[in-house]
Structure 1
Amino acid sequence: MPDHLPRLADDASAVADVREALVDWYETDHRSFPWRETTDPYAVLVSEVMSQQTQLSRVVDAYEAFLDRWPTVEELAADDRAAVVAFWSDHSLGYNNRAKYLHEAAGQVVDDHDGEFPRDPDGLQELMGVGPYTANAVASFAFDNGDAVVDTNVKRVLHRAFDVPDDDDAFERAANELMPAGESRVWNNAIMELGGVACESTPRCDEEGCPWRRWCGAYETGDFTAPDVPEQPSFEGSRRQMRGRVVGVLGEHGPLALDTLGPRVRVDYTPDGDHGREWLRGLVSDLADDGLVDLERRDGELVARLRQ
């Protein structure tokens, strides 16, 4: 009997039906994304890094442009990091240190693995900036060799459908128990699609033909409570947007003193204002700590430049 799926605990045979229903639903019709059409681990890694806390509608164009510019891991590794960071900023992907880590990971694949990606989650986690979730996603979608992926969509589905308690360990155990052995690619795509299309914060069970309605506790009771998930802060006007602008300006104009850089980042920049020299110094210092920017004194002024 299922040990970690409370609602199915008395009906072990239902697990096979649940699995079949979801895969059939996904394979009949699902959203088309370019990264779902490839098993190239490099392309999958690019898509996963870009998709972290970024709307998928913004990712598609950036993903295709990135692979047009750097179609192989070797070409990415050979280019300057500053060019990769500038691309990231130009496409408003946020958190520019992801670009730095992606570039460093490409170098590791080329230098340490002869251009071949590790094929399992443990090996992939050795790459710079690749945590457990991303490693498992790449192993699943590139090599069909991962465990169950657990993101906010999956948590919401498991909590609503099968009464899995709002606990990270419980979600992990339930997700892996439900996933058919050796089918991580199709399964993880399918369950994330279910959460992203039919079981969103406002569910669309009937409209999207949710394949789990006959087993789902939320559908039966009408209680669609879901685990609390912090809302992503607005990008417009955010600190990460301003960091991106700093990188973009330095990439376009080269080294700049703070009082020259400031007005190009914010039109309301004034040296002694709320968004002035001290505010900008904090931004560039953060970028320096992340290894993206170098700071130096020239003629008594602090000058920032992108690190090469």
Structure 2
Amino acid sequence: MSDGPETDWSLPDDLPAVREALTSWYAEDHRSFPWRETADAYEILVSEVMSQQTQLGRVVEAWEAFLDEWPAPEALAAADRADVVGFWTSHSLGYNNRAKYLHEAAEQVVEEYDGEFPETPDELQNLMGVGPYTANAVASFAFDNGDAVVDTNVKRVLHRAFDVPDDDSAFEAAANDLMPDGESRIWNNAIMELGGVACEQSPKCDSAGCPWREWCHAYETGDFTAPDVPTQPSFEGSRRQFRGRVIATLKEYDELPLSKLGPRVRVDYAPEGEYGREWLRGILDDLERDGLVEVVENETDANGGEAVARLRK
């Protein structure tokens, strides 16, 4: 039994049966993703970073292409960062600074860890861009050495099945109480799969053969309310989209004066307009802070004294 903060809740008394039901269901049939077939920490880290803003079905092709290009941390660490960022942009994998951090993490693994990944969640967080969730996922799936993963899918499962309140500390406590000791790899895969194919926003309890129906509070009551999920901002027309266009354009042209870069980034660019020089400089300032581009002021050659933007090497 576990008591969550502010709201009483409890897990079933027969936890061994609950655990066995889920892991058997997962073992019998689950979606096939290539990163589920490996215990290589580098390959798993790449998949986790790519999956942060991209549907898993689209990640497969990008993941395989990335590993074809940079099959090990040594290869990625030796790569030109502009090439890594360019790959990220061309595959629409979200914020480009994630590519930068992945590149820096590979450098750390090579230079600070002699090419061997650290194996615990705490140690993995020493790598650039690796937060608590990603560190725990890599520790779980590569080394079977993690805590329970708590993502949006897992929260939805716990809330519906065991009436765990919509509270992060309660979700974490329940998830860790449920997970069998020393089995983070299969358990975390299984419970995320349950949320991904059976306990979706529109549940498929019977058609997906949910293994927890006999214990599930939502299945018993018919109340399939789920915790609120933050709405992902639209990519189309977003600042994130134009950051990607700047990177892609500079990768193609190497460097450009701002007057030529602007119209290539957006068709409605007008130097004195709403989407003009000031707007473009704001985008470039963001990318400079992330270490992805540099703007060289007052070039006096063929650019007539105009600032030039280029990818940072």
Q: What TM bracket, shorter-length normalisation? A: over 0.9
Equivalent residue, structure 2, for 1:256 = 256
Q: TM-score, normalised by structure 2?
A: 0.95
- Residue 238 (structure 1) shift: 1.4
Structure 1 runs (4+) deviating above 6 angstroms are none
Tell me if the contact between 2:41 and 2:117 (Cα under 8 Å) persists in the aligned partners.
Answer: yes
Q: What fraction of aligned residue pairs are identical, expressed as a percent? A: 73
**How many Å separate the matches in 1 of 2:82 and 2:240?**
17
For 2:266 and 2:289, locate their aligned partners in 1 and report how far apart those are by CA, in whole Å: 22
Contact 1:6 1:162 (C-alpha < 8 Å) held by counterparts:
no
Range with greater deviation from structure 2 (295-304 or 35-44): 295-304
* Secondary structure in structure 2 of the residue aligned to 1:304: strand
Residues 3 and 9, structure 2, Cα contact 8 Å, conserved in 1 = no
Q: Secondary structure at the match of 1:145?
A: coil
Q: Which amino acid aligns with 1:185?
A: R
Q: How does 1:1-308 map to 2 (within 5 A)?
A: 1-3=1-3, 8-9=10-11, 11-12=12-13, 14-297=14-297, 298-299=299-300, 300-308=305-313
Q: Report Cα offsets for 1:66-118 as digits up to 9, x if no partner.
A: 00000011000011111111111111111111011000000000001100000
Contact 2:156/2:195 (CA < 8 Å) preserved in 1? yes
- CA drift at 1:231: 1.3
Number of aligned residue pairs: 306
SS of the aligned residue for 2:307 comes to strand
Contact 1:8 1:15 in 2 (8 A): no
- Partners of 1:100 and 1:292 within 8 A in 2: yes
Q: What CA distance in whole angstroms lies between the structure 2 residues aligned with 1:2 and 1:279?
A: 52
Any conservation in 1 of the 2:122–2:135 contact (CA below 8 Å)?
yes
Query: 1:194/1:6 Cα in 2 relative to 1: closer, same or farther (>3 Å)?
Result: farther
SS at match of 1:301: coil
- For residue 274 of structure 1, what is the amino acid of its counterpart? E
**Stretch deviating more after TM superposition (33-42 or 275-284):** 275-284
**CA displacement, residues 218-247 of structure 1 (integer Å, 9 cap, x when unaligned):** 111111111111111121221111101110
Cα distance in 2, alignment partners of residues 6 and 23 from structure 1: 27
Q: Is the 8 A contact 1:250 1:305 kept in 2?
A: yes
- Distance of 1:269 and 1:203 partners within structure 2: 45
The separation in 1 between residues aligned to 2:46 and 2:230, in whole angstroms, is: 25
Pairwise CA distance, 1:7? 5.6
Q: Per-residue deviation at 1:204?
A: 1.1
Q: Equivalent residue of 1:230, what SS?
A: coil
Distance 2:109 2:289 in 1: 25
What do residues 242-286 of structure 1 show as CA deviations (whole Å, max 9, x unaligned)? 101110110111111111011211122222222222111111110
Kindly indicate whether the alpha-carbon contact (under 8 Å) linking 1:7 and 1:217 is maintained by their aligned counterparts in 2.
no
How far the C-alpha of 1:3 sits from its partner, in A, is: 4.5
1:112-147 alpha-carbon deviations (Å, 9 max, x no partner) = 110000011111011111010000000000011100
Mark the runs of 5 or more structure 2 residues left unpaired by the alignment. Answer: none
State the AA in 2 paired with 1:304.
A
**Residue identity in the other structure for 1:49:** V
- 1:199 positional shift: 0.8
Supply the AA of the counterpart residue of 2:75: E
Equivalent pair of 2:44/2:142 in contact (CA under 8 Å): yes
Aligned-residue offset at 1:57: 2.2
Q: CA offsets, 1:130-183, max 9 Å, x none?
A: 010000000000011100000010001001110111111111111000000000
Tell me the amino acid that sits aligned with residue 127 of structure 1: L
Quote the Cα distance in structure 1 between the aligned partners of 2:9 and 2:209: 21
Contact preservation (8 Å) 1:249, 1:261: yes
Asked if the contact 2:9/2:165 (under 8 Å) is kept, the reply is no
Range that drifts further, 297-306 or 125-134 = 297-306
Question: Which whole-Å CA distance do the structure 2 matches of 1:50 and 1:29 have between them?
Answer: 24
Q: CA deviation at 1:37?
A: 0.9
* AA partner of residue 225 (structure 1): T
Quick one: distance in 1 between partners of 2:167 and 2:130? 23
SS at match of 1:291: coil
Distance, in Å, in 1 between the alignment partners of 2:282 and 2:9 is 51
Distance (Å, rounded) in 2 between the aligned partners of 1:249 and 1:58 = 23
The one-letter code matched in structure 2 to 1:67 is: L
Does the residue aligned with 2:138 lie in a helix, a strand or coil?
helix
